[in-house]
Amino acid sequence: MTFEYAPAPESRSSVSISPKYGHFIGGKFVAGTKHFPTINPATEEVLSKIACGTKSDVDAAVKAARKAYVGTWSKMSGKERGKYLFRIARIMQERAREFAVLETLDNGKPIRESRDVDVPLAAAHFFYHAGWADKLEYAGLGTSTKPHGVAGQIIPWNFPLLMLAWKVAPALATGNTVVLKPAETTSLTALLFAQVCQEAELPAGVVNIVTGDGSTGALIVNHPGIDKIAFTGSTEVGKIIARAVASTKKSVTLELGGKAANIVFDDAPIDEAVEGIINGIFFNQGHVCCAGSRLVLQENIADEFLEKLKIRMNKIRVGDPMDKNTDLGAINSQEQLLKIRELTIAGDKEGAQRWSPECALPSKGFWFPPTIFTGVTQGHRIAREEIFGPVLSVLTFRTPQEAIDKANNTPFGLSAGIWSEKGSRIFWASQQLRAGVIWANTFNKFDPTSPFGGYKESGWGREGGRHGLSAYLKGFSHE
């Protein structure tokens, strides 16, 4: 007997979306010139029109940020700066439902995740950094720390509000002002955040938000009035940015792609590990740079494990992101859906075996079923390239050393997972794995106090914790 879930839709009534938006510069909303639509990827409904930032918009934003830095923010005590950050955090909590609904409409992620993960964590980042603002001399980073000045920040579409918080909160706490560009498909929560800055009476120009696409991002990266660049996005664009700033004095942090191995040893508690693998790859439709996209499974438990994994995958509810019971929402854009399709077709062609549970996908919008590939070898594209979707590639191993070798056989090094009952094995494996974040018997756990970032092509520098503060202070290199 199967039990069906009754629909449990979240109401849209908490949000009001303007038909058209401009930029937020110098504490005010200013009209843009060119606009492009932003859509709900679950329905293809046009939600609003977003301005595409031009050179004069970026110039105006940098000028406003410099003025605020020189005239106000750099002169203010850490204690005063902290008050603004606390105020922003509290307003985000008060308006949490509005943020969650707007994020889900614009991004396609399940409301359960935007409500329980993205928005509370974004507020937590402001609370955490508010606490540091007047204690920077106790962060172990020297007694007379200095901010860079104006930070240019470019963020992706997978956690729009949360990535904004990761960028803006440490920048402001350390005394920088910012020009931030959200991703072109997910600008709405950044524009709502601009309203929060107004409500918190943040001095004009401390936070400036210029919307737009990659061309606007490039204008920020190359602007001579910017002292520091912080970027989260693809490794491809990260490399372009690294080249662009190489001959300048700009400081840079890059948080790029990943292809994390989630290693399951044969002594792991199987049911917990299955749950961890599910969370590792299907959380946020797999649009997660640290997603556990390679399951590295000990061969002697592979059959039993995969059988249980498939049973669990059969229970994943795919569909309306606004339904509180939904586990897997929409793919963020048609472009991303095409990338996922291309890589999975390459997986078929290279001889891996594809499996997905039977699930009816909505007829409108962008959807991809939860999918696993077995029989994957290290040479396959689906083992090497970031798919950034709900697709798990399964590799097997016989000895612990083979697991480590396979896990490290990637140009990336962002995260990894270890599932084992043995503490000594966890310690051993975590020392061998070349990844910035390693979870043991859990996965995808985030906290503002713990530094996050990668090795190799996964990026430069860390975000979060004391390490993340150093990225916004003069005198610390990115590595």
Cα 119 from Cα 138, distance rounded (Å): 29
Q: Are strands 371-374 and 353-355 parallel, antiparallel or unpaired?
A: antiparallel
Task: Look at residues 347, 391, 345, 394 and name the one whose alpha carbon lies nearest to residue 369.
Answer: 391
Pick 85 or 256: Cβ nearer ligand ADP: 256
- Determine, following the binding rule CB under 6 A, whether residue 343 of this chain makes contact with ligand ADP: no
Cα 418 from Cα 421, distance rounded (Å): 10
Pick 240 or 270: Cβ nearer ligand ADP: 240
| Contact in structure between 209 and 193 (CB atoms under 8 Å) | yes
- Determine, following the binding rule CB under 6 A, whether residue 237 of this chain makes contact with ligand ADP: yes
Residue among 10, 52, 103, 289 flagged as catalytic: 289
Write out the H or E segment, with its range, that includes residue 49. strand 46-52
Task: Look at residues 291, 274, 471 and name the one whose alpha carbon lies nearest to residue 392.
Answer: 291
- Determine, following the binding rule CB under 6 A, whether residue 209 of this chain makes contact with ligand ADP: no
Size of the site for ligand ADP (CB under 6 A): 16
- From 10, 98, 106, 184, residue interacting with ligand ADP (rule: CB under 6 A): 184
- What are 457's two structure tokens? 């092509």
Q: 424 CB contacts (<8 Å, ≥6 apart)?
A: none
Residue among 10, 103, 113, 255 flagged as catalytic: 255
Smallest distance from ligand ADP to CB 385, Å: 12
| Binding residues among 119-178 for ligand ADP as defined by CB under 6 A | 154-156
- What are 459's two structure tokens? 């990026």
- Determine, following the binding rule CB under 6 A, whether residue 290 of this chain makes contact with ligand ADP: no
Pick 158 or 174: Cβ nearer ligand ADP: 158
CB-nearest residue to ligand ADP: 217
Catalytic (active site) residue 255: yes
Task: Look at residues 313, 308, 314 and name the one whose alpha carbon lies nearest to residue 272.
Answer: 308
Cα 287 from Cα 282, distance rounded (Å): 8
Smallest distance from ligand ADP to CB 174, Å: 23
Pick 251 or 298: Cβ nearer ligand ADP: 251
- Determine, following the binding rule CB under 6 A, whether residue 234 of this chain makes contact with ligand ADP: yes
Pick 133 or 242: Cβ nearer ligand ADP: 242
Write out the H or E segment, with its range, that includes residue 208. strand 207-209
| Contact in structure between 443 and 289 (CB atoms under 8 Å) | no
| Binding residues among 211-230 for ligand ADP as defined by CB under 6 A | 213-214, 217-218, 221
Catalytic (active site) residue 289: yes
Interface residue list for ligand ADP (CB under 6 A): 154-156, 181, 183-184, 213-214, 217-218, 221, 233-234, 237, 240-241
